Copies of this chain bind each other. A is one copy, B any other.
Amino acid sequence: MKQAHEVFMDYLRDNGLSMTPQRAMIVDAFLSEEGHFTSEELFTKVRQRDPAIGLATVYRTLKLLTDSGLADAFDPGDGVSLYEHNYGHEHHDHLICIVCNRKVEIMDAEIEERQRQLARENGFELQNHRMLLYGICPECDEKGGH
């Protein structure tokens, strides 16, 4: 399996884009992040390494990361996109606690199959999907329901 950096370099080359110090640093910062994070959170980490880098460049590079397949973005429902690593990660959906905002990664082969079937039944060529389950996590249920 190719290195994530290499995937990004290939994407740049294939699209006539060039690697720059800013892009290299933002990609590094992205790859060193874990879990789910916002553009602002990544920007904060980027600033720690180089305060000269602008927010616009972070947004632009996040788009490149997404388009190159290194990142995946989704909106958990509040209008603020969350990013996560996508390269070398299996597809999954999210179960979100409406109290503490915790996110659990979920995946169900049967659901995925039924999704394909639903698309097929309607003559659609399925491209992708988003599924978000909202509920109350065990910890919050404990605290809240005494």
Partner-B contacts on A (CB < 8 A): 75, 77, 79, 95, 97-98, 104, 106, 108, 110-111, 114-115, 117-119, 122-138, 141
Q: Do A124 and B138 contact each other (CB < 8 Å), given the known contacts A95-B119, A133-B119? A: yes
Are B135 and A125 within 8 A (Cβ)? yes
Are B133 and A124 within 8 A (Cβ)? yes
- In Å, the complex CA distance between A111 and B128 comes to 16
Minimal Cβ-Cβ distance residue in B for A115: B133
Q: How far is the CB of A104 from chain B (nearest CB, A)?
A: 5
Minimal Cβ-Cβ distance residue in B for A124: B135
Are A124 and B104 within 8 A (Cβ)? yes
Q: Do A133 and B111 contact each other (CB < 8 Å), given the known contacts A79-B79, A138-B123, A141-B125? A: no
Q: How far is the CB of A81 from chain B (nearest CB, A)?
A: 10
